[in-house]
Every structure is written in structure tokens, then in C-alpha cells.
Amino acid sequence: MSIPQRNAVLFIAAALLTCGVSPGRAAPGDVRGSFEAPCKYPAGLACDGAHLFVLDWREAKIHQLALADGKLERTFDAPTLKPHGLTYGDGKLFVSDDQRGWVYVLNIETGLVENSFEGPGSRTTGLAWAGDALFLLERKSRQIYKVLPTDGTILAYFPVPNRTCTCLAYDGKYLWVSDRIKDELYRVEPETGLVLGILDSPGPYPAGLAWSDGTLWNVDFQRRKIYQLVIEDEQKYRLTDTREARVEYLWALYNYGPGEVRNLVVNLALPENLPGQELLSDIEYSLPPSNLATDRWGQRCALFKIDAVPGGSRRSLGYSVNVKVSAIRYLIDPEQTGTLDDIPAEIRTAYTVDGSRYRINTPYIQERAKKAVGDERNPYWIARKIYNYLIEHIEYEMVGGWDVPEVVLKRGTGSCSEYTFAFIALCRAAGLPARYQGSVVVRSDDASIDDAFHRWAEIYLPNYGWIPVDASRGDAKSPADQARGIGELANRFLITTRGGGDSEYLAWSYNSFARYQATGYCKIEEENLGFWEPLKGEEK
């Protein structure tokens, strides 16, 4: 180990203790350490393994810092009066001009420009060195270009994740792209431009990115700090935006008569502790359940029986519980998800079976799965290709009924449940275990009523476990927003249901299921409502 590398390791360990972060367990996006930026207007950031280089776009200077402790070692002139993008490669610094779009190749030792070329547009704000190629982010066209580093010849290009993206870094496999309005950092597949993961930036204005030896560095313009970020660690997800609430689920039946409803059976799905969800109290029932039971998928249910509901009367029941729910976001590296053979056999067996609402063995579903997936064996890419296939073939439409995937795909529209069933059917047809979750949702205000609810899928990925996939979110326009449907849930959901298919207590429903008989004609209506109310301090 060289002296600069050893010093960098010592700095990282010290920063961990200073910031109060446990070296053994950190979440993606956690800050491992930070130090002050050397200038008031930082923009581009680069790293050569022993030093960080910070671009001052207003003063047209480049500051060289020791990677080990952030101390300023020297300052020299940038090769243009309007610099913005910065990256290191092949022993040189590459600097872009965001007014004319030129890229300059600077010898660090002599300060001389050894080469320059015109970029594909005038607003080149981000640069990333990738060995035999250079990536450029051009803000005017909102494209990321892959070019030859000698003369700027374009090799490929794709859209930026969001319209306000500004800077780049390359980690040897993936691009990292910052968004200076959403304050987010995107992991991007460099051949297709697909966004594979999202991190919150540690500051409100990410202005430069650099990569060095497993670490993503970010300089923030507003806070004037340089941050070292955790990317891969034991913890695979990050929790944010915690909400504590009292949630009541109410089921009611209105019998307008004239006949009588008899032998009413109502089964309620019960929430449990999950990643991102903690029950803060026992579940309180409005009526004592006749029994508590667990279905074939491991779903806990409260069972209620009511002998009769006369015409012109109403019956209701439900439960209340205090909960803490957080936004959860996984950062998934496709190269760490193995193959289908790495999935435990018991999970493959249970969650690749057919069902009456999947119909995975029909020629149509088999053909669609093959067309979407091809010969892919990586579990993540199987799911992502199916997700992308649904983006191309279905548009969201909230209508009554839950039609089978073949009908939904042929029709081209579907509700959240229909998206979910179609996604699960194609995943199972491709051999990837999949199931669904159902929830009660916060609608707008913290205190709200939900009568629509929401359902999405889960897939099983080796080394990550069960990952949420909301295929209906694929209708979003930007690559970044489309990516939010995989591995991300907001803090708006109380998850009540986890199911693989037909349930002896819930059938194909979620939250609740009821069945009954009637004497003659009855006009009957069912109502399902979720009530959210913020917890006060003494109620927690």
C-alpha cells in the first residue's frame, strides 16, 4: 500500500468515528466523512487516487487537495475562463467549457493544454473518464454523450435521467449523474442510459462528482463541502422521511333490503413489522374476531362472523394500530444478484406457481415472457426487462375489475392490480419468484381518508431478498422517475397484505375479503376506508 493510499484509509477511519457512523453497517448514501471545499464557487470534481481536484467556476481556478485530509496543496489556472466539468484520466485533467462546449486536456505538472476539441454542444457541464472513452453531459440537448477522448467523435448517446442533471463520475461499471434541483445522485447503466439506483445527495446543490477506490465523492455548491459517500455495505437499503400515525381500517356492509344478508364472513389482512414499517402498538379491533389465522402465503388474518344483517341496516368492523412508516430505497447492483439458480429452492417452488389470475402457462403469456426476457438469467435484468416491456405496452387506467394479464396486455391499459398481476405472471413465466403487497395509503394531508388503496409486486433477488416493484410507476416520463418503481416505496403506505395468489381467507383481494348469502333480492354495498391521523407525542 502506498503512503497516499494508507493516509486515505486512515482519513476514512477517522471520519467514520467523527461522523458517528458504524464502520460495520452503513446504508447506501450515508456520509463517511467530509471537509470544507477550498473555494466559494465549487463546480467540477476529479480524483487521481491520491488527490482531489476542485474546479472554481467563477475564478477559473483548479484546487488540488490531499485525499487523505483535504488539505490544499496548490492552486493553478483552469484552461478556460468558463470552466465547469472536470475529470481525471490517463494522467491528465479534462476540463469542459459550459459556454462554448470545448473540452481541454490539461497536463497537471506543467499546466499546459496538450489537446482540445469541440464537444457536441455548448453547455458541457459534466465529464467522466472511462478508459477508452469520455462521457460528456450536455445540458442544452439534455443528452449524455460517449465520445473519443482524443477528438470528441461521438460513439453513442442517451437522455439524461432528469432535465436538471449537471455532473458525472464513472466507477468502472456505471455512471453516476447528479441532479441539482432534485438533489439526487443516479446510478446509470452506461450503454443504455437506464437508471439503476438513486441516492439522495448529502447537500442541497450537488455540483461535482468523482470516484476513487469504491468511494463516491460529491462537492456541494451551497454548503461548500466535499462529502465521501457509502455505496456498498452490509445494509442494502436506506430509510428516510419517517411518519408516525394512527391508522384505522374500516370495513362496512350496507344492506338496503328488502331481503336479509346471512352467514356474513369478513376476513381482514393484518399488518406486521417489515423493513420500513414498525407497529408501535397492539392491533385494537372494533369487534372481537372469531379467530386469527394464517393463510398459505404466511399472511395473518382476523376472521369475523356475523349471522345476519337485516334489510335497512349496516354492519361495520375493523381495527386500529399505531405505526411508524418510512420511505425505503434499495440500491441494487445487478452484478450482485447472481442467477436464478442462486435463489433458494423453496422460494422458487412457492412463488413461480400458476394461478387463475396469472395463467402463466398459456401460449400468449409464455410468448410475451420470452419476447421480453430472451435468454437472460440475471434476476435483476429479468425483472427490469419485464418492467420495461410493460412500460411499452400498458398505460395506467383505474377501472373496475381485475382482468387476467393476457387481456390487460392485449387491451393496453390496466389498474395497479392489473399491472401487478401482469408483472407477476411474466416474472413467474420467466422463472423469477414474484408476489404482491397491498396497502392503505395516505392521500395528500397527514390526516386523510383512503378509499382507493394500492397494490404492487415484489421480486426475490439473491443477496437482497424481497424487493418492491411498482410496475404502474413505469408510466413516468423521465428515466429517473421510471426507475423509482423498482426498489423504492414512499412513506405513504401501511402494508397490510403480502400474498402470492389465491388465499383461503383473502381470495385474490388485499386489505379485506367478505362473502355472504342473501334471502331474495338485496341491494348491498361494501365500503372499505383507511383513516390516517398523525400521532401526538403521548400516543407513540
CATH class of the structural domain 3-235: mainly beta
What is the signed CA dihedral for 123, 125, 128, 133, rounded to 10 degrees? Answer: 10
Nearby residues of 340 by Cβ (< 8 Å), 6 or more positions away:
348, 377, 379, 382, 431, 432
Length of the chain: 540
What's the fold here for domain 328-499? C8orf32 fold (3.10.620)
Q: 504 is written with which cell numbers?
A: 383461503
pLDDT at 513 over 60: yes
Other C-beta atoms closer than 10 Å to the C-beta of 309 total 21
The H or E element containing residue 328 is strand 313-330
Q: What is the pLDDT of residue 400?
A: 65
Evaluated on CA atoms 150, 171, 334, 384, the torsion sign reads negative
Distance CA 436, CA 441 (A): 16
Chain-centre distance for alpha carbon 381: 15
Mean pLDDT of 335-349: 96
Q: Give the tens place of pLDDT for each residue, 99-155.
A: 899 999 999 988 899 999 999 999 999 999 999 999 999 999 999 999 999 999 999
Amino acid occupying residue 29: G
What's the fold here for domain 240-326+507-539? Immunoglobulin-like (2.60.40)
In the chain, which residues fall in CATH 2.60.40? 240-326+507-539
Instruction: Report which DSSP code applies to 286.
Output: S
In the chain, which residues fall in CATH 2.120.10.30? 3-235
Which residue is associated with the grid cell 496538450? 114
Mean pLDDT of 369-396: 95
Cα separation of the two ends of the chain: 51
pLDDT band at 537; cut points 50, 70, 90: low
Q: 517 is written with which cell numbers?
A: 348469502
Which residue in 494, 96, 102, 33 sits closest to 273, CA to CA?
Answer: 494
Distance CA 149, CA 145 (A): 11
Q: What is the pLDDT of residue 21?
A: 40
Q: Give the tens place of pLDDT for each residue, 467-505.
A: 999 999 877 889 999 999 999 999 999 999 999 999 999
